[in-house]
């Protein structure tokens, strides 16, 4: 696990010597930090990916039920939906084939809601939390607008 400084000692939290943005939360289970980003106008999936990179991380990837619960809890106050770092390539077998994380990691853990992914409308290739408060996932087209997302900083 990456060394994590105690914010009470330095006044700033860090991972591997990198100072984290204000509001970032470090999860000791994997040593990664998570930062919630939101704005009233919302973000489409590609904007969320780019903003995550600009902040020095990537759109969040979920590897376990515990990590899903942590991230969903952090994002809970955002309201409807929130983008996750999963996507399906254009040549993926619909509706569930080929999903992967923005980091290139395989999607070994999933938390799809019943009937999801469904590729409704024929172009749903971006991953987000449902807006029903369950922490379950759904697919949407990349132009869907959600109020925020979580950046994962490793």
Confidence bin at 8 (pLDDT 50/70/90): very low
Centroid of chain to Cα 105: 13
pTM: 0.87
Q: Where are the domains of the chain?
A: 22-153
- CATH superfamily ID and name for 22-153: Mannose-Binding Protein A, subunit A (3.10.100.10)
CA distance 51 to 124: 21
Question: Given a cut of 50, is residue 120 above it in pLDDT?
Answer: yes
What are the backbone angles phi and psi of residue 25, rounded to the nearest 5°?
A: -115, 130
Confidence bin at 70 (pLDDT 50/70/90): very high
The residue to which tokens 């999963």 are assigned: 86
Confidence bin at 12 (pLDDT 50/70/90): low
Confidence bin at 7 (pLDDT 50/70/90): very low
Kindly state the tokens that stand for 26. Answer: 């470090």
CA distance 152 to 131: 21
CA distance 89 to 78: 27
Residue 21 pLDDT: 87
Residue 40 pLDDT: 87
């Amino acid at each position: 696990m990456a060394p994590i400084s105690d914010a009470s000692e330095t006044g700033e939290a860090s991972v591997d010597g990198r100072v984290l943005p204000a509001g970032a939360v470090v999860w000791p289970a994997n040593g990664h930090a998570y930062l919630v980003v939101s704005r009233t106008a919302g973000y489409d999936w590609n904007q969320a990916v780019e903003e995550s990179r600009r902040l020095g991380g990537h759109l969040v990837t979920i590897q376990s039920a515990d990590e899903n619960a942590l991230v969903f809890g952090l994002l809970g106050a955002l309201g409807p939906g929130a983008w996750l770092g999963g996507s399906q390539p254009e040549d993926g077998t619909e509706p569930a084939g080929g999903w992967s994380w923005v980091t290139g990691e395989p999607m070994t853990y999933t938390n799809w809601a019943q009937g999801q992914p469904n590729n409704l409308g024929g172009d749903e290739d971006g991953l987000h939390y449902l807006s029903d408060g369950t922490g379950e996932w759904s697919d949407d087209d990349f132009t869907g607008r959600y109020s925020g997302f979580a950046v994962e900083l490793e």
